[in-house]
Structure 1
Amino acid sequence: GATVAFTYVKAQEDKDAKDTLEMLKKDKTSDAKDPMAVPADLGFDKNSKQVVDDIVKDYSRIDILVNNAAEQYESSVEVIDEERLLRVFRTNILSSSLLPATKGAIVAFTRGLSLQLVNKGIRVNGVAPGPIWTPLIPASFDKEETAQFGNDVPMKKADHPIEVAPCYVFLACNVCSSYITGQVLHLMAAS
């Protein structure tokens, strides 16, 4: 049997948390520890870290993590207020691993925005270029990192902006891509 700990938003999910905790206690096997319900707003990094610390303190380890913290409001991008948008982003994106989460958020945002704007004749697409040589590379990395830049993709090289530019032109061209919206072109050197 598994020992289960879960989070909930206090004052919003109290009843659900109580019901879930009772169900888990009832179904707990003899080799499992008592389940734990932890009130926490995971939209804040310090709360996420505190939850992990509390669970490890009580259970000594975490074997399986289910990242299902989410928040959603039915609202068009045109009318959603910034505070609510930031709250949704904080809970749904920043509470998970940051770099992959931000990249995934861009893809999801592109798709969602395309659905909201397609009736206005606006196509929304994206380009995920992978490693690209720009002035930021030597300015941001040391000499060794700069020399290795791009070697971690199967083609063993970074692209140059001129190699990626045609993708943007393609997506902007009504003749070539009038039926394409909500898509992200992944130019990842065979990744």
Structure 2
Amino acid sequence: MARDPRTAYPQPPQPLQKQELPGKTDAMEPVPDHGEKSYTGSGKLEGQAAIITGGDSGIGRAVAIAFAREGADVLVSYLDEHGDAEETKTWVERAGKRCVLLPGDVKEEAHCAAIVERTVSEFGRLDILVNNAAHQKVIADFEDLSAEELDVTFRTNVYSMFFLAKAAVKHMKPGATIVNTTSINATDPSAGLLPYAVTKGAIYNLTGGLAHRLIDRGIRVNGVAPGPIWTPFIPATMTDEKIKSFGSSTPIGRAGQPAELAPAYVYLASDDSTYVTGEVIAVTGGRLML
């Protein structure tokens, strides 16, 4: 039976809660849904190998679970959230697929190259790159924005995508795909997330430009633009009031769950979308990409 989108998942207000960056999934209330009990695969990615950055929790974990249930082996790249990453690995392996965990900092080009080389070494191929790792921090006063914060945000969110794509395309064959995570902030920026929003606008543009650059190799590049999604970033970066009301700004009236994003990534990574490149799918709870 079809579910009412307004009540399919918890609605605001969320309970007050606070975490330190990068946040932990199990400490959240309510705990996000990554599709652990709901996602059913149908072999759309059978025999393929995927990299998912930021795959330890949130959207990345949901994508890892979905990809595994569709038949893909997965390398999960993450910073240092070992507990969350091990939980993701457990779900991938329950689907009967291999999962390699690789901690490290995607701000560094050498580490991005190592991610790609480890994937090819472990799986013998690379078919899908999901650029999902991100950094965000709420800056209440514009004058408090530091050069250091700009550098961390841009290197994590944008530089890493260049580094990973450059390393990955050397190993990708026609039919391979890249899927970038952008955001509703790309076109409707939140004032307190200005550096993050600017990077997400850059990713939106990068997706189209890279798609045109790589299609002559048979490699498609697309993106997914999440709206407000309930992930560890939220209690780790936002004020009490923002946490309580998170998601209420959408026409659907609630925050999205990571599980609601995963099918978009599967579609863009699979042969269901062979005539789609340079596009961004908005999964925003009804907020419009202007």
TM class by smaller structure: 0.3 to 0.5
Higher helix share: 1
Higher-Rg member (1/2): 1
Higher strand share: 2
TM-score, normalisation: structure 1:
0.47
TM-score, normalisation: structure 2:
0.31
